[in-house]
């Protein structure tokens, strides 16, 4: 996996000073916590002493993480070992005594990590959307994106909205992102999609070709935004995809159906995928996506990130 990529592994509210958490990037385990100054920190979730998960430890008052096994204590920014409490000594440890550190950037309600400590910090959107959630889906990252492109109803749900098979614009590259726009309609009695002359809403999906982090925009036929969402799928252990998402329902929505979106949960990412439906899902947009992802990531491997 490309080390210089930034992955949105957590939502801001999941990272705190009370209890470190464990996330993955691919098969790599990572421990995340917030130090005493509120800065999110990330280290490999493996104590270099006896390989215990650091996420079973605790965050000390000075913001460092202490392994729960023998108490070795690490600085989150550099990963350097700072204390072995039982040694009762102030001696400094050799540079080699360190856990692997990750670069961390927090913005827009997401915590993003990069394994390359020299990579340029990512310039991610700063606006935080109020609704949010986290799910772990038993589907590989590639297949997860393919499902999102070919039939979003297998992975997300928008209140009162049906996704049709009709694309208003096929998946193509726009400013380094994979973009497609899908026709949608309101749930309820209506003509079947093939006989509909015009659709009342559309869903635009704009996806980073490397991370798959996607911006979703639902608009009505007057081009007014109804809902925005950011969905961040991250490859995790055993072929699972960790998905962190945030969304916002626009306050000005015209039409009864659009107004009804405010009742209950307007947006969610499904925690599991319907295997029977997925197996027979015909690939269409995902075929373009696979080809484009390959050419795009080959031409700009190091710069890939979030738009």
Partner 1 sequence: MLDVNDTAQADDYVDPVTSDPRTFAAKVNSWVPHDIVLKDAWFPLAHSIAVTKKPVRRAVYSQPFFLWREGEKAVAAEFHPAEDVKTAKSEYSDAAGRYPVIEKYGYVWGWFGNPANASPEHIPSLPYLPEDGGLPKHMLGTVRFDCTAPLSLENLIDLTHADFLHADVVGDEKMDKETVEVFHDSETITMVRTCKNKSVAPIMKMFGGVKDDVQQVRQVIRIYLRSHAAIAYGRFDPGDNVQLFHPCVPETRDRTRLDYAMNTSNVKKTNPFRYMMPKASYKVSRQDSSMTSPQSPRYMQPEKRKDLHSPLDEAGQKYRVLMMALAERQAKGDFAYRDNVSADCSEIIGYQKP
* Chain residues in the site for ligand FES (CB under 6 A): 47, 49-50, 52, 67, 69-72
Question: Taking the alpha carbons of 177, 120, 51, 57 in that order, is the dihedral positive or negative?
Answer: negative
Please tell me the chain's helix, strand, coil percentages from 3-state DSSP, rounded to the nearest 5: 15, 35, 45
List the one residue from 46, 228, 253, 257 that touches partner 1 (CB under 8 A).
46
Residues 6+ apart with CB under 8 A from 45: 22, 29, 30, 31, 53, 54, 55
Binding partner of residue 147 among partner 1, ligand FES, none, CB cut-off 5 to 8 Å per kind: none
Binding partner of residue 287 among ligand FES, partner 1, none, CB cut-off 5 to 8 Å per kind: none
Q: Tokens for 132? A: 């949010």
CB-based contact 90:77 (threshold 8 Å): no
105 scored as a contact of partner 1 (CB under 8 A) = no
DSSP letter at 282 equals: P
DSSP letter at 130 equals: S
List the one residue from 60, 84, 281, 304 that touches partner 1 (CB under 8 A).
84
61 scored as a contact of partner 1 (CB under 8 A) = no
Binding partner of residue 53 among partner 1, ligand FES, none, CB cut-off 5 to 8 Å per kind: partner 1
Q: Which of these segments, 42-50, 103-111, 255-263, 271-279, binds partner 1 (CB under 8 A)? A: 42-50
Q: Least separation, in Å, of the C-beta of 66 and partner 1?
A: 8
CB-based contact 218:249 (threshold 8 Å): no
For ligand FES, the closer CB: 42 or 67: 67
90 scored as a contact of partner 1 (CB under 8 A) = no
């Amino acid at each position: 996996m490309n080390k210089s990529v930034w992955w949105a592994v957590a939502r801001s509210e999941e990272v705190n000073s009370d209890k470190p958490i464990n996330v993955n990037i691919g098969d790599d385990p990572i421990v995340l916590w917030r130090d005493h100054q509120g800065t999110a920190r990330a280290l490999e979730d493996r104590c270099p002493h006896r390989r215990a998960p650091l996420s079973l430890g605790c965050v000390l008052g000075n913001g460092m993480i202490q392994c729960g096994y023998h108490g070795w204590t690490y600085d989150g920014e550099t990963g350097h070992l700072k204390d072995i409490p039982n040694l009762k000594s102030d001696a400094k440890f050799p540079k080699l005594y360190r856990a692997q550190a990750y670069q961390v950037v927090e913005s827009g309600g997401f915590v993003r990590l990069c394994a390359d400590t020299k990579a340029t910090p990512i310039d991610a959107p700063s606006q935080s959307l109020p609704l949010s959630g986290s799910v772990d889906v038993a589907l590989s990252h590639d297949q997860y994106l393919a499902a999102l492109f070919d039939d979003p109803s297998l992975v997300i749900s928008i209140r009162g909205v049906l996704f049709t098979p009709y694309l208003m614009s096929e998946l193509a590259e726009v400013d380094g992102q994979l973009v497609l726009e899908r026709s949608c309609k309101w749930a309820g009695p209506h003509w079947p999609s093939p006989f509909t002359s015009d659709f009342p809403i559309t869903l635009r999906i704009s996806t980073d070709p490397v991370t798959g982090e996607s911006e979703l925009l639902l608009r009505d036929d007057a081009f007014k935004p109804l809902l925005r969402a950011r969905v961040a799928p991250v490859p995790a252990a055993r072929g699972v995809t960790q998905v962190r998402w945030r969304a916002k329902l626009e306050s000005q929505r015209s039409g009864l159906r659009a107004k009804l979106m405010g009742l209950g949960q307007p947006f969610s990412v499904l925690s599991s995928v319907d295997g029977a439906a997925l197996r027979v899902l015909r690939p269409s947009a995902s075929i373009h996506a696979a080809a484009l992802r390959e050419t795009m990531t080959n031409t700009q491997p190091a710069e890939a990130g979030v738009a």
